[in-house]
Amino acid sequence: MYVEILELYEWCMGHSIPCVLSRLFDGYKLEFPDKADFVQHAYSYGSAHGGVEPAGFSISYEGVSLETAKKLIQEKTYGRN
């Protein structure tokens, strides 16, 4: 369950994007240095349909696909050029 956010975390690690994966009561939170994050749990938008919920990005508080999540992360450089 909630494999999309785990895959997103692995993608970030593979691209040297700093983030922290934390366990929530029934899911996960993927947090970035500027406190932007993605969550995936029973009550987050899109989680029931394989999506993750962003906060602090150009799209926030709605379910997005894994590919859209990657694009949102790429919009922010997190100290990289």
pLDDT tens digit sequence for 3-46: 999 999 999 999 999 999 999 989 999 999 999 999 999 999 89
Give me the sign of the Cα torsion angle 72, 75, 76, 81.
positive
How far apart, in whole angstroms, are the C-alpha atoms of residue 79 and residue 13?
Answer: 15
Structural domain including 12 reads 3-75
In a domain? residue 80: no
In a domain? residue 81: no
In a domain? residue 51: yes
In a domain? residue 47: yes
In a domain? residue 50: yes
**Tally of domains in the chain:** 1
What is the band of 78 on the pLDDT scale with cuts at 50, 70, 90? confident
Pairing assessment for the beta strands 37-40 and 28-31 based on DSSP bridges: antiparallel
Residue 81 pLDDT more than 60? no
Question: Which residues neighbour 10 within 8 Å (Cβ) at sequence distance 6 or greater?
Answer: none
In a domain? residue 58: yes
